[in-house]
């Protein structure tokens, strides 16, 4: 079997696992030309609107797109959570709010307070940025306390917690340590990037993170540099269970026909 067919089968198997975990019916048996519906792809996506100059009109558009395509969530800054809750009322689209964003340098108490406020306003998932400098400095106790403060606030509010590592700043050893601390803190996901640093998700980082956390029951969110359907499928094949992107609508347009072509384009 050629490498393209192998890639396609790996993607097909991974998407089937994700759908089964979320209670969706499995796709037909894996074949060299797997077809996934746009609806199945949409449920892997956190539709992101995190840029600092986002306006109310932009948020309204983001929420309209999320409703139309039935994305898993919208991922937004704290100031927009209440409005997004109004705009998404009656839909199944969840609200994901970032905390300690984008640098992670706030005190743990501030992150926990920000988390609780976002959950009260309607957030069902929290993407928090770790204290990157303290991780690099070897202060694992502080980083663990930082993550745990947000995780506990999420647990109190029945929300999911995701831990943003900002992998472009980290060595592989530091990425692994951050994943292990996230496991120890009982987070729900680890996430690659904010999308506002020097680099975003890579297949190598997603694979590394998945190897460490998947057997512990944590998901992996790939964010940053996911600009196409081919990018999304690569991340899923590497172990991503969720994808954050502002290119969601473009990806859905690509997914409107046969999602994966037989020639393995994009790999």
Query: pLDDT by residue (tens digit) across 112-132?
Result: 999 999 999 999 999 999 999
Give which of 233, 232, 207, 231 is closest to 220, Cα–Cα.
Answer: 207
Q: What is the pLDDT of residue 36?
A: 67
Residue 83 resides in a domain:
yes
Asked if pLDDT for residue 87 goes beyond 60, the answer is: yes
Give the bridge partners for 164, in sequence order. 129, 191
Rounded to an integer, what is the distance from CA 53 to the centroid of its chain? 22
Active site residues: 127, 191, 221
Predicted confidence (pLDDT) at residue 265 exceeds the cutoff of 50: no
Residues 6-11, mean pLDDT to the nearest whole number = 56
| Mean pLDDT (whole number) for 31-56 | 83
In this predicted structure, what is the pLDDT of residue 11?
63
The confidence score (pLDDT) of residue 13 equals 65
pLDDT at 212 over 80: yes
Alpha helices (H) in the chain, listed in sequence order: 3-21, 38-42, 56-69, 81-87, 108-121, 132-136, 140-156, 172-184, 203-213, 229-238, 248-254
β-bridge mates for residue 161, sequence order: 126
Report, as an integer, the average pLDDT of 167-176.
98
Q: Which residue has the tokens 């502002």?
A: 246
Q: What percent of the chain has pLDDT over 70?
A: 82
Q: Is residue 6 part of a domain?
A: no
Residue 245 lies in a domain: yes
pLDDT at 250 over 50: yes
Read off the pLDDT band of 264 (50, 70, 90).
very low
**Domain around 156:** 36-254
Question: What integer best gives the mean pLDDT of the chain?
Answer: 88
User: Quick check: is 2 in a domain?
Assistant: no
For the cut 50, the answer to whether the pLDDT of residue 267 exceeds it is no
Residue 260 covered by a domain: no
pTM across the whole model: 0.84
The whole-number average pLDDT for the span 82-95 is 98
Report the pLDDT value the prediction gives residue 7, as an integer from 0 to 100. 53
Q: Is residue 20 part of a domain?
A: no
State how many domains the chain has. 1
Lowest mean pLDDT among 32-36, 105-109, 152-156: 32-36
Kindly state whether residue 176 falls inside one of the protein's structural domains.
yes
Q: What is the pLDDT of residue 263?
A: 30
145 within domain boundaries: yes
- Confidence (pLDDT) at 177: 98
Query: Stretch 226-249: mean pLDDT, rounded?
Result: 96
Q: What percent of the chain has pLDDT over 90?
A: 80
- pLDDT of 256 reads 78
CATH of the domain at 92: 3.20.20.70
- 23 pLDDT more than 90: no
Burial bucket for residue 203 (CB in 10 Å: 0-12, 13-18, 19+): middle
Distance CA 140, CA 131 (A): 10
């Amino acid at each position: 079997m050629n490498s393209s067919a192998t890639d396609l089968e790996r993607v097909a198997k991974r998407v089937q696992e994700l759908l089964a975990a979320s209670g969706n019916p499995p796709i037909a048996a894996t074949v060299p030309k797997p077809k996934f519906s746009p609806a199945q792809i949409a449920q892997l996506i956190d539709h992101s609107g995190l840029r600092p100059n986002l306006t109310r009109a932009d948020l309204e558009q983001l929420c309209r797109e999320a409703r139309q395509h039935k994305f898993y969530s919208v991922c937004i800054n704290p100031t927009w959570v209440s409005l997004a809750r109004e705009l998404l009322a009656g839909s199944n689209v969840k609200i994901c709010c970032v905390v300690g964003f984008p640098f992670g340098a706030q005190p743990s108490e501030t992150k926990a307070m920000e988390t609780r406020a976002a959950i009260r306003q309607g957030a069902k998932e929290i993407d928090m940025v770790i204290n990157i400098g303290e991780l690099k400095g070897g202060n694992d106790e502080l980083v663990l306390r930082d993550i745990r403060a947000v995780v506990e606030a999420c647990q109190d509010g029945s929300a999911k917690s995701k831990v943003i590592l900002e992998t472009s700043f980290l060595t592989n050893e530091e990425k692994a340590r951050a994943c292990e601390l996230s496991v120890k803190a009982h987070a729900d996901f680890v996430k690659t990037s904010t999308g506002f640093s020097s680099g975003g998700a890579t297949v190598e980082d997603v694979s590394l993170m998945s190897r460490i956390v998947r057997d512990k029951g944590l998901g992996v969110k790939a964010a940053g540099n996911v600009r196409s359907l081919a990018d999304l499928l690569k991340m899923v094949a590497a172990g991503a269970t969720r994808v954050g992107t502002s290119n969601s609508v473009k990806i859905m347009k690509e997914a409107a026909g046969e999602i994966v072509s037989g020639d393995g384009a994009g790999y």
